[in-house]
Chain A
């Protein structure tokens, strides 16, 4: 089933947003001092990457 205009738009924006977040998380993981936060960020990274994969799969 073809994507609707709105679905396309939201997918596009969501992918870009998640991508930016992934980039920030990658940078933050090396900057934070607190190990607890570092671990939290690393978990977030995994989720973020997975989100991009999920969302991007609908574009294929």
Chain B
């Protein structure tokens, strides 16, 4: 085969070049430069060749070979890093207090979400009150108790722009792993803040792999924004193994009954993710209609070249988040303007979404009951243009569609999902508007 000839030439070239090397290159590289270059080279090989090659190899022997060289490359990169670090040539930046606190919150919320799953996979019907006549969903008992109402603000997961040691790379996500931003509140409370303007430009191009998302139940506040900014430099060698690249988006859901008392004057969400996202399973807003605008998620990706394996099994280009907006209960706010332009254009595959599932950045308005607010304008231009495959939206407001209801003001829903949508689940509960094009209802 032709490849064999090339390899032979390459091997011969190595021997010749090495034998001819005398070291008199005349360069002015310092020891630090040299060590840094070696480290960079190691990272590059490990990250962009070996790691994806492991994933792409079908033959066990080749896979093992790549694993071996990858492991050794990691070890050597660590040696180089230690050399640099000991001399103060490669300093790592310690996490600031805010980041650590956010991490703690994330861990706590994730534990709660998981605990809720394990304890309260009740899958009951959560229809209480007259506001939720049609929605049936899964209940997560433990997370439904308690009422925390707060605007969670923004979360930034800023990525690494430099180069990290290879030892950091395993088991962690690089480039800002956003956390959960979930409404933990129960059925009361109110969002009392007044975010006048929220602009979120220049969104994610990164990648995200999301296995299973578990949102808390009935968060009733606007959860703010999350940034998962990607890695712009070269990452550690094992970035591509089991970790997300460039910002893993999280859930941002808002649910609950409580009174949304805020007055978000303007919420702009331009330029969303353009990548494809693979989403395993989303469990969100089970049975509860969320009543707050749930904010945004950023998952900004790697700006460099990714290994080809990233595109297989891992989502590339920023995994879109869910933005659930449901109106139920006393929505007392006056959102003057909600702009959500330029949404995901990538393809999305979601396995089993329950509730308000939609892979491509969905904004669901699920009004029911007393929506008392006065949304002056809700613009949702340029939605998902990619193809979306949706498994089975069970219950709730499944499907691509959107349902907006307002008692006054104006509701504009231009240019919705342009892409093809395969929807096997249809509309759940007879409530959803499954077809692209959004349901519109004004009273």
Contacts and interface: CB of A to CB of B under 8 A. Distances in A.
Interface of A: 1, 3-4, 6-8, 10-34, 36-37, 40-41, 43-44, 47, 49, 51-56, 58-60
A47 B46 CA distance: 14
A27 B40 CA distance: 16
Contact of B8 (A13, A20, A59): A59
B102 interface: no
Contact of B10 (A10, A15, A30): A15
A55 B24 CA distance: 29
Interface in B1-35: 1, 3-4, 6-8, 10-11, 13-14, 17-18, 21-25, 27, 29, 31, 34-35
Contact of B37 (A8, A10, A24, A33): A24
A17 B79 CA distance: 19
Given A6-B58, A22-B17, 18 more contacts: A10-B56, A13-B49, A21-B38, A21-B42, A22-B14, A23-B17, A23-B21, A26-B21, A28-B34, A28-B38, A30-B21, A33-B31, A37-B35, A41-B38, A54-B65, A54-B68, A56-B7, A58-B65
Contact of B49 (A1, A17, A60): A17
A6 B54 CA distance: 11
Contacts of A26: 17-18, 21, 23
B41 A21 contact: yes
B3 A3 contact: yes
B85 to A, nearest CB: 13
B238 to A, nearest CB: 16
Which range holds the interface residue count of chain B? 35 or more
B367 to A, nearest CB: 49
Nearest to A37: B31
B40 to A, nearest CB: 10
A11 B52 CA distance: 11
Contact of B83 (A11, A25, A40, A51): A40
Nearest to B35: A37
Interface string B48-69: 0110110011110110011011
In the A-B complex, the 6 residue pairs with the smallest Cβ-Cβ separation, listed nearest first, are A30-B23, A59-B7, A10-B53, A26-B21, A6-B56, A14-B49
B45 interface: yes
Contacts of A11: 3, 7, 53, 62
B57 A10 contact: yes
A9 to B, nearest CB: 8
B38 A8 contact: no
Contacts of B10: 15-16, 19, 52, 56
Nearest to B54: A10
A55 to B, nearest CB: 7
Contacts of A47: 72, 76
Main secondary structure of the interface of A (DSSP, over half): helix
Interface of B: 1, 3-4, 6-8, 10-11, 13-14, 17-18, 21-25, 27, 29, 31, 34-35, 37-38, 41-42, 44-45, 49-50, 52-53, 56-59, 61-62, 65-66, 68-69, 72-73, 76, 79-80, 83, 308
Contacts, number: 144
Q: Which of B14, B21, B62, B79 counts the most chain A CB atoms within 10 A?
A: B14
Contacts of B38: 21, 24-25, 28, 41, 44
Given A15-B10, A24-B38, A37-B83, A60 B57 contact: no
Contacts of B308: 6
Contacts of A44: 38, 76
Contacts of B52: 10
Contact of A27 (B13, B21, B57): B21
Contacts of B73: 51
Q: Which of B3, B68, B72, B73 counts the most chain A CB atoms within 10 A?
A: B3
A41 B49 CA distance: 21
Contacts of A15: 7, 10-11
Contacts of A19: 10-11, 13-14, 17
B69 A51 contact: yes
B6 to A, nearest CB: 6
A31 B25 contact: yes
